[in-house]
Structures are given as structure tokens and as C-alpha cells.
Structure 1
Amino acid sequence: MVRRFRYAPWSCQRLAQQPGGIPAALAAQPWLYGLLPAFLAGMGLSLIQLARQHDIIHAHWSVCGALAVLTQPIHQRPVITTLRGSDVNHAERSPIFNLLHKKAVQKSRFIVGVSQAIATDLGRQYHGLADKIRFVPNGVDYVFYALATGRDHLAPSPFKLLFIGSLILLKGLDVFLKALAGTNSQASWTLTVVGDGPEKDHLKSLAKDLKIDKNTHFLGNVSPDGIPQLMNDHNLLVLPSYREGRPNVVLEAMAAALPVLATDIEGTRELIQHGQTGWLVPPGDVDALSGVLDDLIGGKRNLAAAGLAGRQWMQEQGLTWDNTAKLYGQLYAEAIGS
């Protein structure tokens, strides 16, 4: 059940209503910073009211965790805070955010990192709190595991590339478009872009300037129910991000036996074994991307083997939502029991 709270006139409530969430909204429209006090106050009041009907508070993102622990003297419920990567990055750049981040880590009963890298980094930063820092991986829906293991049902040409994500600078899609334009492969290709965001118009213009707009299709947002079929209809998922927590779109692709080309960053490095379950390139490196794309589009790499190996790894790790729910259930029981 979703409970919404009001923090401004309806026409002004734009903080969390666009791709990229609050950080993207603040970057695009700085005047929205003026809504933050009312937003936090509204969230805090709603939290106190709803806490009376619940045994535990599970906050996502460190600002929400800080708000939950700061109001704990009133609601008196244990707090678990899940961090997703962007929390740590924002804390490094903003003194105020860093203060809230520290408060969430120090006062929450448990801190959960969605990636092993996040949990490990937190353990290094907060030496005395290692016993309450946990790693709980996200899972994927079973429908992805049920998709075909190969792409034999696809026509041999064109080679179909797929991007799924918010159209923001951190996703690096501009770099990827330049890399595609710089490929030497004579094979034909198409790129399907799923998602929306503040960079959409710029990316469309860039594709036109690079003379690849006829091969590049911007679908906008797609219902989650439509993602499995999209993955089944493409040869390769691409994720050229500069930063990621533990991208679920990569997990879904691997479960779907869809090979992945991504940037070599913490969030993807612990998921993809380069050359075995996918391919990794340095973030922002147009030439490196073009080189790998030449090989992949030109049929010089075994895509089917990489896709199958990715699915096998997912199955070995037991990455399903049922298993994620079991791990969180155990954590809830421990938090309430303590």
C-alpha cells in the first residue's frame, strides 16, 4: 500500500515525480530546494502517524533513514535503512547530506547495502558498527528465468541493442551514442532506448547530429510487464553508467540470458565476469566501447554462451525476490527481537 503525503500545492509537488528522483529534480530545477523543508516535515509527520500501526520501519535511502531515527523517540520503532549507492556519493559531496547519512548509519538497528561493495565500504568507514551492516541482494521475477536461453528466434540482422534506464547524465548514454557512431562494423544494428528523463531531448539531438537517429528508437517509459518481452527481442543489453549501486536491470538481463555490455564500476563489477557473463569497459571511454561493439555486432564474440553463463550464475546465487524476502524477514525478526 502506498500512502502519499502533501508538502506543497499539488501543482508544485515535483520533487519525486520524475526519472532520476529527487537528485535529478534538484539538479534540473534548483528552486525545488525551497520545498525540501516542507517535504521532510510532511514525511516525518506521516511517518510518526503510520508507525503506530506497524512494528518496524524500513527506510530506503539515507535521508529517509535519518528521518526515521530522528523521530524514533516519538514512534519508538526499530529502524532498518537500505542504502543503494547514491547515498554514499551524495554524502561525499554535501556536508548536510553527510550529516544525515551518518545519523542513519549510526542509529539504525541495521544498515543494508544492496551490493557487497556498499556493505564492505560501510564496514571500513564505520569500524565499530560492522555487526549491524548487512548485504541483502535484490532478486528478479521468475518470468525472466523462463525466457529462451538463446536468441535464435531473432533475425540475424539487424543486431539489436537495448538500453533501459533514466535518461540522466550519470547513465552515460551520450558516450554510448558516440561509440555507436564510431564503430567500424559493416553489420546493421538498432538501438532501443527505454526510459525518460531530462536528457531525452539532448540525446535525440545528439543521435541526429551523429547521423544514427534512424537506427535509434526512443520508446519512453515502458510498463514493467513489458520489460521481459523487450529483453527477449534484443541481442544485447547496454549500461554505460558512470555510477550504479547494484543495477537490477543487469540482474534481469542475466536471468533472461541476455548478454550485457556495461561499464567497469563497482555496481556492475560484482555481477559481470568480463568475457564470460558479459563485457566491461572503462566508464566514459568512447574508443573502448566502439572496439567491443565492433566485435559484438560483427559476431566475433559468443553472445549465446555469455547469456547462458549469466543465467547460470544468477541461479547459483539464488537471486529471486522470494529469497530476498526471506532474508529481509529474518532481519525484521532479529530487529524486533532485539
Structure 2
Amino acid sequence: MNIIIITPAGPDSKAGNRATALRWQRLLQQSGHQVRVETEYQGAQCDLLIALHAWRSANAIKAFKAAWPESPLIVALTGTDIYYHQHEYPDLTYESMDLSDLLIGLHDLVARDIPERYAHKLLTLRQSADKPDVFGGSRLESGQFHICVLGHLRDEKDSLRAAIASHHLPEDSNIIVSCAGKPHNDKWRELALQESRSNPRFHWLGELNRPELATLIAVSSVMVISSIMEGGANVISEACRAELPILASDIPGNRGLLGDDYPGYFPVKDDKALAELMARTENDGAFLAELKKRVIALAETFRPEQERQSLEKALALVVAAKD
């Protein structure tokens, strides 16, 4: 098939939507499809269009359906679509969902958080990650217990929660929190710099390349994901594939990937509860081992081949619906 993928994130962006679009392009090309990634729909004819983000890609979605009303359209729902834009901008968000022939959700609980009228359109897909060359905790440093936080620094990620939590740790703790990511704006840059200067347990590393990220994961014993909203964070896929235990905020986007019985949740924005979990991973070997056992068991669900098969299922469903 001739497929266009629309993502609002530009070619130089390292945002999750851009990474997802490029990964889907690669996986679909492996299946023999011709795939272009664009930030705006330019009117070109194609066999199928996939739009990442119902709200941000609304103009592209409307333009495509106006030009080619009988051509299949898939809309992938992001965390901000589900947990923000459908409430703040319902008309535009729901119009995109109405125009779609299929909706893709990126965690298992999406159906609970969108209107029931869309349930028949929804397909769940787990984002994948490649098997890493090095695994979490494979290069531990003596006398330090490294906890990493990965991703752009922004409000939705509550990116400094682990750094704030580290203030509540006992003095004899060896925990070091390392945060890798580009600040969303000047406010976040200044917040990260201020925390780095005032908190000896916190290091902001800025935006790292892939080898540098691999090194950070290798020296880390735990990853913290403190988001207040997620549509299905790819960093969970990466942590599980790297066998790196996760402490995660208790939100649907995390529960929908890690499971309701995962033992490493903490209440959103609760730095004291997070500090207690961080200290427990440092001092309770059995608890840390249980977290690692859980992420290893989940790793198989985040394989690229499984994601490719899910994409092929999505294509088959919309094509069959049009026949």
C-alpha cells in the first residue's frame, strides 16, 4: 500500500510522536508498503493515511477526508488527546475521531477513557523497542545507586518529581537521580538548572544521544516515570526491554502497560511516596528483584515484530471495512 503518516512533530524533533511515526514507517516498509512521513497533509492521493494525534492533526485529517472521502483513515490517540484535548477542545478532537475508520490506542485501558461510542473503532497497539546492546544495571557503580528519568522536560511529564523526592531521602542514602531530556521551554530549563545547583543528589544531563542514553541505562538500577498523563509511554517499552525496574505514577497510561498488579506505583505528584519507593528499591533487594522480574516478563509484549503485526492488523481492518 501507499501510506502517508502525519505527525505534528517536525523532522528535527525528538518528540515521541516523531519517533513513533518513523518507527511505524520502518515497520510498515518491512512489510513491503511505501510510506512517507509528513507534518502536514499536502493533498496527495494515497491508499491510506495514518494521523498521529486527533487534535494536533485535525486540519490534516479534515483535508484528507474532504479530498478522498472513501480512502481509509487511521487516527492514533496520544495521551494529550485522551486526557486533555478531548475535554478542553471536544468539538475538534471528536470530529477527528468521528472521521476516522479506526482508532489506535497505545495502552490497554484507553477504552475506559474515551466515549463508549468509539469502542468499536478502537485497536490497542503496544509500542515496541529494540533489544538493547546493554541492559539496566549491567554497569553499576560502587557506592552509588543511580535512578534515571528519561524524556523531554515538560508539565505533562512532571519531570523533576524524582529530583524533588530525593530531598526526602535519608542522609546515608546513595541514590543519585539523573535526568536526561530536552526542556520544553525556558521555564523548564531554568527549573532543571536550579535543581541541579541546589540538589547534590540530582544531575540534569540535557539531551543525550543513543550511546549516551545506553550508558545511563547501564549504570541505573531503576527508572522513574512520573507523568501526570500518558497515552502509552514508549520509555516503558524501552525500560522493559532493557530489564530496568520502573517506579511509575499511578495513571491509566502506565497501568495500561504495566498492569494493575504491578507493585511499583506511587500517587501522582506525591514526592514523599515516591521517595519511600526509591529508598525501598535501594534497601530492599527482594522488592527490587520483584520489579525486575515483572519488567522482564513484560518485555516480550514490546517486541518490534509484535508491533508490526498489530499495524498490519490495523491496515487489514480498515481495508476490509471499505470493501
Q: How does 1:28-177 map to 2 (within 5 A)?
A: 43-44=40-41, 46=42, 48-49=43-44, 52=45, 54-63=46-55, 64=57, 67-76=60-69, 77-94=71-88, 97-122=89-114, 125-127=115-117, 129-143=118-132, 147-148=134-135, 151=137, 153-177=139-163
Cα distance change, pair 203–153 in 1 and its aligned pair in 2 (3 A): closer
Q: Relative to structure 1, is the Cα distance of residues 245 and 4 closer, same or farther in structure 2, using a 3 angstrom cutoff? A: closer
How far is the alpha carbon of 1:98 from its aligned partner? 1.5
Tell me the alpha carbon deviations over residues 41-61 of structure 1, each in whole angstroms, 9 at most, x when there is no partner: x924x1x12xx2x21001100
Letter in 1 for 2:269: G
1:192 deviation in Å? 1.5
| Structure 1 stretches lacking a partner, 5+ long | 6-13, 23-41
Q: Are 1:295 and 2:280 an aligned pair? A: yes
Deviations 1:54-105 (A, max 9, x none): 21001100032563244323134210001022112332443xx321211111
Identity, in percent, stands at 18
How far did 1:18 drift? 6.4
Three-state SS of the structure 1 residue aligned to 2:220 is: coil
| Matching of residues 121-270 of structure 1 within 5 Å | 121-122=113-114, 125-127=115-117, 129-143=118-132, 147-148=134-135, 151=137, 153-184=139-170, 186-197=172-183, 198=185, 199-209=188-198, 212=199, 214-270=200-256
Partner of 1:37: none
In structure 2, distance between residues paired with 1:136 and 1:184: 41
When normalised by structure 2's length, the TM-score is 0.79
Q: Deviations over 1:168-226 (max 9, x none)?
A: 122223332221011115132222211011212212213433xx2x4322221122454
Alignment size in residue pairs: 293
Picking from 316, 322, 338, the partner of 2:305 is 322
Cα distance, 1:262 vs structure 2: 1.4
From the superposition, tell whether residues 15 and 326 of structure 1 become closer, same or farther in structure 2 (CA, over 3 Å): closer
Aligned-partner Cα distance in 1 for 2:240–2:5: 34
Distance verdict in 2 for CA 1:153–1:175, change over 3 Å: closer
**Aligned-pair distance for 1:114?**
0.8
| Structure 2 Cα separation of the partners of residues 180 and 280 of structure 1 | 17
Q: Any idea what the Cα deviations from partners look like across 1:94-135, whole Å, max 9, x if unmatched? A: 3xx32121111112110111112213333xx143x4322211
How many Å separate the matches in 1 of 2:121 and 2:97? 9
The letter for the 2-side match of 1:208 is R
Query: CA 1:273 to 1:79, structure 2 compared with 1: closer, same or farther past 3 Å?
Result: closer
The CA deviation at 1:270 is 2.7
User: Superposition RMSD on alpha carbons, in Å?
Assistant: 3.2
2:254 aligned partner, one-letter code: T
1:138-186 per-position Cα deviation (integer Å, ceiling 9, x unaligned): 121123xx644x7364234200111101111222233322210111151
Deviation at 1:308, TM superposition (A): 2.9
Cα distance in 2 between the residues matched to 1:202 and 1:226: 23
